[in-house]
């Protein structure tokens, strides 16, 4: 249990610190569309890969990175779905819900697609 609390605390500090730093950038940069890039900063991914690598090794960190790839591609789908929904529905709450559902569904599809391709590539390299 003590290691889990240490793990959780470190994730909180790394991820939270990166998110807080991005918020500062968002406030300081006058070009809000450019500043939006920092809203997508992969703070959680960085913390998760560090923790997986330190506590479980590179193979586990690689699996986390694969999930992050799928999630970030899903973020692109989420932003497109949310933006289109906002344009047509003019309802930000419903648009966020639609975007979140689109993110989850597309991320699952991406992880299945990428995971299969990466698995075949790794198997071919080992042969």
pTM of the model: 0.63
Residues whose CB falls within 8 Å of the CB of residue 95, separated by 6 or more in sequence, listed in order: 82, 85, 86, 89
Closest CA to 107 of 63, 67, 79: 67
Q: Which position has the token pair 């940069």?
A: 29
DSSP type of residue 85: H
Residue 124 has pLDDT above 70, yes or no: no
Token digits for 55?
Answer: 């506590």
The 10s digit of each residue's pLDDT in 47-71 is 777 777 887 788 888 888 888 888 8
pLDDT tens-digit profile of 77-108?
999 999 999 999 999 999 999 999 999 999 88
Angstrom CA distances, 7 to 54, 61, 70, stand at: 10, 14, 24
């Amino acid at each position: 249990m003590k290691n889990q609390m240490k793990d959780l605390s470190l994730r909180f500090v790394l991820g939270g610190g990166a998110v807080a730093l991005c918020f500062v950038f968002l406030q300081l940069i006058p070009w809000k569309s450019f500043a939006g890039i920092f809203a997508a900063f992969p703070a959680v991914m960085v913390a998760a890969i560090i923790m997986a690598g330190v506590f479980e090794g590179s193979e586990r960190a690689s699996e986390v990175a694969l999930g992050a790839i799928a999630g970030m591609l899903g973020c692109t789908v989420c932003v497109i779905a949310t933006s289109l929904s906002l344009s047509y529905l003019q309802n930000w709450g419903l648009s966020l819900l639609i975007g979140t559902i689109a993110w989850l569904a597309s991320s699952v599809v991406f992880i299945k697609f990428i995971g299969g391709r990466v698995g075949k590539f790794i198997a071919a390299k080992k042969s």
